[in-house]
Structure 1
Amino acid sequence: MPTILIKDDLRRSVEAATGGQMTVLYTATKQPTYMNVFYRQNLEDIDPELGTGVDPAFIVNGVEKSELFIGAYPGIVKNGELISLPGVDPAASRNFDSFLTAARACGPGFHLVTNAEWMAIARWCRKNGFMPRGNSYYGRSSDVPLETGRRVDGAAAGTTTGTPRTLTGSGPMAWRHNNTAGGISDLCGNVLEWAPGYRLMDGEVQIIPNNDAAAHTIDLSRTSTLWKAIRASDGALVAPGTAGTLKYDGIVAGNTGQHGAPRLSDTVTIRHGDAGQDSGAGYASGSFESLSVKEGLNVPNIARILGIAPPGAGLGSDGIWVRNFGERLLLAGGYYSLGSSAGVFARNLSSARSNVSGAVGARPAFFL
């Protein structure tokens, strides 16, 4: 169990500097990790149209949590543990399972930031009228080019060669979730972040209920029996493959890159040209806010809460990418060259769990 009650000099100084927004926890091997405290919220306080009751991000294995601890920065793997530190090159070029193992190595309660947690933060940002920017164009913001961070390769912001990731937390306050120095940094751009608990399986939307994906020993494997589909008619969680569940379509055949726009539906067709294609195959993309919905399809609240469908307007041009062949895990937030399509509501569901890229990282989180 990490040290959370005894204040040492580092924790005391971090909490004082950020007005208590940020704290320091210690991992199983006593490494410090900088975390933001994110307090429990009710759906009706964020958006009454989403329903009432505790946000599912604060329910783990049926137990309500009063707060979550979210990595203040994208993680770095050090001594086999995924920790959150300022001023470092965020870890990249690891697949999902590698990052998951590093997060859990920190000790019980530690996990990868889940989709439920990510969406709770994103909806908080929308509610409070500030959508954080970030490294979305080779070390600078594509929306406000004067906003820059320190590139890990030392090159000038905007240089389209080299390694354009930025050192964690090196951008301005506008790159933090609440526009203050103590906010959660780099949720927009820099590196895509694995966010477990939501996937596509041959186009069918599947989730791990509530925030159970944060549990330390939960089975998040491809073959786990814990994955549930969502029945469109009433939002009930049902066995994968049940008729009438939420799916994405809009994929076209071929191996020629991006095609068309995705659509939320209750049916899906896997075109012949996509069969067996794990990279480079046709995928659908578009603006998440303008995601189309099959005519007459009911979109249950759970789909809006978990970012399967947009929760409403005001999401800017944050993008969505889907591929409906095989298992596709969620990568959130966008990366350093995505431009205006990066953002806290950006949703990438086109990559297999084996994907390894210099533009893909992860962020630790913790719950008591």
Structure 2
Amino acid sequence: MGRFDEARFALEAMSGGKNTLLMDDMGLPSVMVRIPCFRWSEVYEEGEDTVCSAFIVDGKVKDSIYISKYLNVVERGRAYSLPDRDPAHTITIDDAREACARKGPGWHLMSNAEWAALAHWCRKNGTLPRGNTNAGRDVTAVHEHGVLAPPSGIGAGKHPEARTLTGSGPDAWSHDWTAAGITDLVGNVWDMVSGLRLVDGEIQIIPDNDSAMNVDESEKSPLWRAVDTSGNLVAPGSPNTYKYDGVNPGSPDDTAPLVPGGVRLGTSVRQPQYTGPRTDADYFAWTMMPFRSMAADVAPHVLLKALGLYPLSERLGGDNFFVRNYGERLPLRGGSWLDGASAGLWELYLRDSRSWIFPDVGFRAAYVEL
């Protein structure tokens, strides 16, 4: 037995098969959590009796997916899931995707489909995790804390950096409330996810979990699909596709004001957050709201609820939804050490462009056997 084979055997034996070591194309390990395939109807009340989309890649059903147990670090240009490290941060989503893809076939930036699958699983099993949501501690359980990482010196605006070392929090910070779970999904640093974006308010996705194949998710990619009110995946800009419309009139101010009221789900954008003349409007007016409070002008298709893009019910805690419904916006999930009670598995950030970097934004790789 080789050194890594012995370590894998010990890890699998200790975790009851839930954790394992997977090697990349350089023979270097990541600690991964195996998630067996399940159906949507098994994890939420309105779910269709079909295989959860996180387990469908290129039209084929996978018996399991593997999610990084820890927020990733980057070494030798590749992403790794390792304990007791300062998680990678201040990196663009495209660079994170590349760090995952470099590891070899099947490795990819965790997708929104995979994130949503975990969120529904945790809700169904009563294990919605806590985390580093208040400068190293959980905001609702202040006795729970992790080990603070050394500050990077990059700074986080007016807020001191307060990342915790990967996996250094208690079991309640993992997805199944055990030592074998996926850690730091809530708080610490936001998770960038693939397979989802917003373009001028229109919801666009990569079908199923095809993001696991590292398909083209560039700004001009022809693979993006909008969702129409019948649940069909159609070309962006098609009639009757779902969009996030502002509740209140937007602002022409170019100093990034908060527009009150949040958004409503609809099929048109009559009230963009920014109404000024600038065409380089990456970081102007925006809005936010509790995710659970979102209303709709049209019936939300079950697919939007499955993918965590429309609330299942009002019983989703205080998780926030941030949005700019103009330009291209890439997704972050789960919140950070700055977000307090608004952080959670349903918190969604569709506010910034693909070039956005910040010390409270990180990522994790996932793996599917192709």
Structure 1 length as normaliser, TM-score? 0.93
Find the counterpart in structure 2 of residue 97 from structure 1: 94
Q: Please give the secondary structure, in 2, of the residue aligned with 1:345.
A: coil
Find the counterpart in structure 1 of residue 279 from structure 2: 276
Contact 1:70 1:113 in 2 (8 A): yes
Contact 1:151 1:163 in 2 (8 A): no
CA distance in structure 1 between the partners assigned to 2:348 and 2:222 by the alignment: 24
> Which letter does structure 2 place at the counterpart of 1:305?
A
CA distance in structure 1 between the partners assigned to 2:187 and 2:263 by the alignment: 22
CA distance in structure 2 between the partners assigned to 1:51 and 1:140 by the alignment: 37
Aligned match for 2:236, one of 224, 240, 244: 240
Q: Could you list the per-position Cα deviations for residues 120-159 of structure 1 after superposition, in whole angstroms to 9, with x for gaps in the alignment? A: 00000000112100011111111111110001028xxxxx
> Which letter does structure 2 place at the counterpart of 1:68?
I
Alpha-carbon offset, residue 7 of structure 1: 6.7
**Mapping 1:309-320, distance limit 5 Å:** 309-320=310-321
CA distance in structure 2 between the partners assigned to 1:320 and 1:37 by the alignment: 29
Contact 2:334 2:344 in 1 (8 A): yes
Aligned match for 2:193, one of 187, 192, 195: 195
Identity %: 39
Moved more, 261-270 or 85-94: 261-270
> Which letter does structure 2 place at the counterpart of 1:237?
L
Find the counterpart in structure 1 of residue 335 from structure 2: 334
Q: Could you list the per-position Cα deviations for residues 149-200 of structure 1 after superposition, in whole angstroms to 9, with x for gaps in the alignment? A: 001028xxxxx95420000000000100000011000000111111111110
CA distance in structure 1 between the partners assigned to 2:41 and 2:349 by the alignment: 27
Aligned match for 2:110, one of 113, 137, 145: 113
Alpha-carbon offset, residue 237 of structure 1: 1.0
> Which letter does structure 1 place at the counterpart of 2:42?
D
Find the counterpart in structure 1 of residue 308 from structure 2: 307
Contact 1:204 1:246 in 2 (8 A): yes
Q: Please give the secondary structure, in 2, of the residue aligned with 1:49.
A: coil
Find the counterpart in structure 2 of residue 67 from structure 1: 64
In the alignment, structure 1 residue 289 sits paired with structure 2 residue 292: yes
Is the alpha carbon distance of 1:151 and 1:107 closer, same or farther for their aligned partners in structure 2, counting shifts above 3 Å?
same
Aligned match for 1:18, one of 11, 15, 19: 15
Alpha-carbon offset, residue 327 of structure 1: 0.6
Find the counterpart in structure 2 of residue 157 from structure 1: none
Moved more, 56-65 or 311-320: 311-320
CA distance in structure 2 between the partners assigned to 1:174 and 1:286 by the alignment: 26
CA distance in structure 1 between the partners assigned to 2:105 and 2:313 by the alignment: 35
Is the alpha carbon distance of 1:320 and 1:174 closer, same or farther for their aligned partners in structure 2, counting shifts above 3 Å?
same
CA distance in structure 2 between the partners assigned to 1:114 and 1:49 by the alignment: 22
Find the counterpart in structure 1 of residue 150 from structure 2: 153
Aligned match for 1:179, one of 162, 177, 180: 177
> Which letter does structure 2 place at the counterpart of 1:171?
G
Find the counterpart in structure 2 of residue 262 from structure 1: 263
> Which letter does structure 1 place at the counterpart of 2:171?
M
Contact 1:257 1:280 in 2 (8 A): no
Q: Please give the secondary structure, in 1, of the residue aligned with 2:49.
A: coil
Contact 2:282 2:327 in 1 (8 A): no
**Mapping 1:335-354, distance limit 5 Å:** 335-354=336-355
CA distance in structure 2 between the partners assigned to 1:210 and 1:288 by the alignment: 23
Q: Please give the secondary structure, in 2, of the residue aligned with 1:97.
A: helix
Q: Please give the secondary structure, in 2, of the residue aligned with 1:50.
A: coil
CA distance in structure 1 between the partners assigned to 2:40 and 2:278 by the alignment: 40
CA distance in structure 1 between the partners assigned to 2:296 and 2:303 by the alignment: 15
In the alignment, structure 1 residue 131 sits paired with structure 2 residue 134: no
Find the counterpart in structure 1 of residue 154 from structure 2: none
Moved more, 273-282 or 237-246: 273-282
> Which letter does structure 2 place at the counterpart of 1:39?
P
Alpha-carbon offset, residue 106 of structure 1: 0.6
> Which letter does structure 2 place at the counterpart of 1:282?
A
Unaligned 5+ segments in structure 1 are 155-159
Structure 2 length as normaliser, TM-score? 0.92
Contact 1:126 1:314 in 2 (8 A): no
Find the counterpart in structure 1 of residue 42 from structure 2: 45
C-alpha RMSD of the superposition? 1.8
Find the counterpart in structure 2 of residue 168 from structure 1: 166
CA distance in structure 2 between the partners assigned to 1:279 and 1:359 by the alignment: 19
Contact 1:322 1:350 in 2 (8 A): yes
